[in-house]
Structure 1
Amino acid sequence: MRELAALPSVMAHEASNPLTAARAGLQLAMEAVGRWTDVAADRRLELLDELGQVVEDIDRAITFLRAIQDRARGALARSERFDVVRVVRSCITLESRVLKDRRVSLELDAAVDTAYLQGDPNALYDMLVNLIRNAADASADRPAPVRIGVALVGQSLQLTVRDQGRGILAQDLDRVFEPGFTTKEFGQGSGMGLVVVHSVVRNMFGGSVAVDSTVGVGTTVTVTLPIPRQRGNEEERAPR
């Protein structure tokens, strides 16, 4: 039964791998087109626009497949004690490379060196990827650093992702967790990113998500997660 339940996640993973490779190939093709000198400038721009649309289509497909993986993981999620700061640093390192060509940099504000949670580190990683890419999308018109914060607040761990993008209208803030709702232009968002984030935070970690935004200033997403008692070094080394 467990193998059968895992099938959707496996299929989504296998489908996303060639799509990711295809996306990388398209980006190389776009760079090559941009260097052409024997083709009229307007034709080059037209080709780049068409290739860019294909890249966006692939991104939507990958986002949808990731949502399938996240939902499947809800039933199969592993649970282990892991260092959140380490996961965040790893995510920022990899996503910085992905976002390099979009002129969006990622900056980490870590108020702690280590902080431990009980749960699935892969789920937390995917959740953070969703938030970072949302912030990068919002910053497309005005490239600025996306800041990721990690801090301990009382008995909770607080993760923040802050951008200086276009912001969200006040009347739309109450709808950001609705399936299918998106503030992006038509065809540029599935409306599932924050739905997946909310599901992971609430169902896998027992936490909460809050969104604060001002049009023209930017958006801050705050994820609050309950943490177990932090153990000292001696207890950390003690046999279990």
Structure 2
Amino acid sequence: MARDIHQPHSITADALAALIAERDAALAARDAMLADRDSVLAEHELVRGELRVTKVERDLLKEQLKAFQRQLFGAKSEARTAEQRDLFLNEAEALAPTTATLPAQTDEAQTEVAGHKRKKPGRKPLDPALPREVIRYELPESERTCPNDGTTLVEIGVEVSEQLDIIPQQVRVIRHERVKYACSQCDQGIKVTPARLRIIPKGLFTEAALVLAAAQIRH
């Protein structure tokens, strides 16, 4: 008895073309959905950046208002507190080419030493959620020797200071780390990497942020 041989169903060229067109349409729809999702995510990140910039601008305006109030109600007072000297208004007004020749300034923030941190009096810490860029300053190897006995100094921590930096649609914190060294044989050979030059001594804002904010105030 002969076996039945099942032949595969034949498909016409038109039916095959229709299936291919349907597949291509589904792929195109998927690509469009992915593109829409990416666009929404990018817009979300843009809005978050704008919110950060708006918050910093609001804080700058609040500090400027405080400065005006002090000038209005305490113009005759010659006493100036550390907080007043650190106001943004003073920083923005001090922008000038001649300030580039100012000597190196020592920042008072906090000292990180192996095993613990020693806090020094200062302003409120910057928002830890902001992105940070760490700039590390180290002494040349030729200077890492104890002045008393010539022993090679070992790193014991860093001197830390932070500044707000503002670029279009983004706010970040620049973290300056000045490496500290100490002699392993005596307690007299401590050295700290010198601070870089700043337009405003102990200023909260970077030079770029000051220029941007000053331009906005002028407009």
Tell me: higher relative CO, structure 1 or 2? Use CA pairs within 8 A at least 6 residues apart: 2
> Larger % of helix: which?
1
Provide the TM-score with structure 2 as the length reference: 0.30
